[in-house]
Amino acid sequence: MIRTLAKRAAVVAAASAVTVTMLAGTASANTQVGYVGDHQANNWTAVWCVQHDINHFAQNSWYPHIDEDGYWGPKTKNAVVWFQGRLISGAKYADGIVGPRTGDLLLGYGDEDQDAKCRAALPTSS
């Protein structure tokens, strides 16, 4: 009987750990924010995160540094197109708009120190 109770307790503990982990993971993602780019209701933080993460990704390449000013413009859009072209196969996806797919990549390849701030501001798939 003690073994049965120990097994049940272990199952409950494991299920609780999985539930907490799943809730913690989804709480940090933001699937509710809008796309970032031309003709979007861009917020300063989201645009800054795009600029910052692209600069972080491009630091060892020949791509020029872009200003991290939080304003969407042609240089930021071109940097997004460049970033998408490097990481998303198929030229049709390099549209210069940050949706969930590009947001996931920015967070994956960007500056980990800014993840909490940027995860709340950028669109993600999960």
Secondary structure in 3-state letters for the chain: CHHHHHHHHHHHHHHHHHHHHHHHHHHHCCCCCCCECCCCCCCHHHHHHHHHHHHHHHCCCCCCCCCCCCCCCHHHHHHHHHHHHHHCCCHHHCCCCECHHHHHHHHHHCCHHHHHHHHHHCCCCC
pLDDT (tens digit per residue) in 9-40: 443 343 333 333 333 333 345 677 889 999 88
User: Partners of 98 in the beta sheet?
Assistant: 36
Backbone angles phi, psi at 90, to 5 degrees: 100, 120
At 56, the pLDDT band (50, 70, 90 cuts) reads very high
d(CA 65, CA 15): 46
Q: Is pLDDT at 54 greater than 80 in this prediction?
A: yes
**Average pLDDT in the chain:** 80
Tell me the pTM: 0.73
pLDDT of residue 22: 33
pLDDT of residue 78: 97
